[in-house]
Structure 1
Amino acid sequence: MKVLLLLAGCVALTGCSVFGQNNVESAPYTLVKADQALKIEVRNYASMVLVSAEMPEGSRNTAFRKLFRYISGENYGATEISMTAPVLMAGNAEVKPGTEISMTAPVFMGMQGGKSQMSFVMPKEFTLQNTPKPKDPTLQISELRNYQVAAIQFSGTLSAGNVAEHTQILQDWLKTQGYVAIGAPLEAGYNGPMTLPMLRRNEILIEIQ
């Protein structure tokens, strides 16, 4: 069963500004269908490598800090990667601690195996084989393949009201289009807390078949 993820809202993505601009790579996907009026897309993520931290209730900041330390060098990596322009080197390079890894949006949060988790998506150059091993043994590496979702985009904050409103719109759209939801609604935030609410990119994603 695929991992269920809930994207963390209001987390400080590297390079974010108050104007909604950032230098963070977004996880690539194939666009299957779009409804521009409702800002809904059906997407297929061919592959996403995730590094995840357990997130007991009330510990979002703790999980985020663990993951950020991992991409900032708290790992055993065989690649040398710039924070702004990732360069993948040969997989048989010398293994050493301290590799920096560019941050990719979004940041996921959700449930796996009955436990709440936060996950960072690795840049597209990474596979399960060449993703650096975390120095923190509580972090886990996994992969999602052929992950098809419907997503609705909206601005503002990931408040309970905003999330509920757009989740309902997306669920109603899925019914009219004949899609079957096979996952719980997920929240997605692409900007840090300093970004003005009206300029933020938020999403609700639902896995479908």
Structure 2
Amino acid sequence: MKIAISILVSMLLIGCSTFGHSEVEIAPYTVLKTDEQQAIEVRRYEPMVLVSTSMAGDGRNSAFRKLFRYISGENEGAADIAMTAPVIMTGQPATAGTKIAMTAPVFMSGNSQQARMAFVMPKHFTLDSTPKPTNPDLKVEEVRDYTAAAIRFNGTLSRRNVQRYSEQLQAWIASNGYSAVSEPVEAGYNGPLTLPMLRRNEILIEVRNTID
């Protein structure tokens, strides 16, 4: 299954700070190849469970609120797991359920007309154990066999930066024995309070090794 998603963002991530430190769990991966000069890695991600929603209509902010409410308790969690601190978004209380920790990064689709945003579930969750969303706009899926080339940069996920680093990564892929099998997707690991120079941003492109 392919990821047609990208990663937001300069939005609120739990545990973020002005100086770039975050206690948020990172989606685990193994580095297969490194180009330190261009800050590029080829990574193979461990299986991931994603909970996603459409960004149609109100766009990123609306999608982020839906997903944040989901991890804050708007899910069909085990009845004996109490919510200790439900997050209330836009004046709407979350449904009682399991409170789920946030994992970085946040994935988003980019140029597709069916753009979606997704949260990566903590690694101990499986497709079967992930609490079912109570909001029908949310979808749960598992992603396996995901290998991607990633380029890392500081600053912001501005259109100019996204285009610049996407083109740089595409050129690297073409000259290093890989073929791209997805469109570039954005990746952001920090919240808006983090100084731009300390932010971790990435562009990811799913790849296939053409040499093997």
- TM-score past 0.5 threshold: yes
1:163 alignment partner, SS class = helix
Identity in percent: 55
Q: Secondary structure at the match of 1:106?
A: strand
Q: Distance in 2 between matches of 1:112 and 1:174?
A: 20
Q: Is the 8 A contact 1:110 1:116 kept in 2?
A: yes
| Counterpart contact for 1:29–1:45, Cα < 8 Å | yes
Residue 121 of structure 1: aligned partner: 120
Counterparts of 1:26 and 1:138 in 2: how far apart (Å)? 25
Q: Does the CA-based 8 Å contact 2:51-2:67 persist in structure 1?
A: yes
Distance 1:166 1:188 in 2: 12
8 Å CA contact 2:83–2:97 kept in 1: the answer is: no
Number of corresponding residues:
197
- Secondary structure of 1:18's counterpart equals coil
Cα distance change on mapping 1:147 and 1:6 into 2, 3 Å: same
Aligned-residue offset at 1:143: 0.9
Give, in whole Å, the separation in 1 of the partners of 2:133 and 2:111. Answer: 19
Amino acid at match of 2:23: N
TM-superposition CA deviations, 1:72-123 (whole Å, max 9, x none): 111111385999xxxxxxxxxxxx9421101000001116995111100000
Q: Is the aligned partner of 1:21 residue 2:31?
A: no
1:41 and 2:41 equivalent? yes
Instruction: Tell me which residue corresponds to 1:51.
Output: 51
In 2: Cα distance, 1:137 partner to 1:77 partner: 15
Structure 1 match to 2:101: 102
Q: Quickly say closer, same or farther: Cα 1:98–1:81, change in 2 above 3 A.
A: closer
Q: Where does residue 189 of structure 1 map in the other structure?
A: 188
Contact 2:54 2:117 in 1 (8 A): yes
Which residue is equivalent to 1:146?
A: 145
> Structure 1 residue runs of 4+, over 3 Å off?
79-83, 111-114
In the alignment, is the contact (CA less than 8 A) between 2:73 and 2:83 conserved in 1?
A: no
Pairwise CA distance, 1:3: 3.0
Paired residue secondary structure (1:65): helix
Which residues of structure 2 form unaligned runs of 5+? Answer: 85-94
- TM-score normalised by structure 2 residue count: 0.87
Measured after TM superposition, the shift of residue 171 of structure 1 is 1.0
Q: CA RMSD in A?
A: 2.1
Gaps of 5+ in 1: 84-95
The equivalent of 1:132 in structure 2 is 131
1:4-31: CA deviations, max 9, x gaps?
A: 0121121111111110111100000111
Q: Which is worse superposed, 114-123 or 101-110?
A: 114-123
- The verdict on how the C-alpha distance between 1:187 and 1:113 changes in structure 2, with shifts beyond 3 A counting, is closer
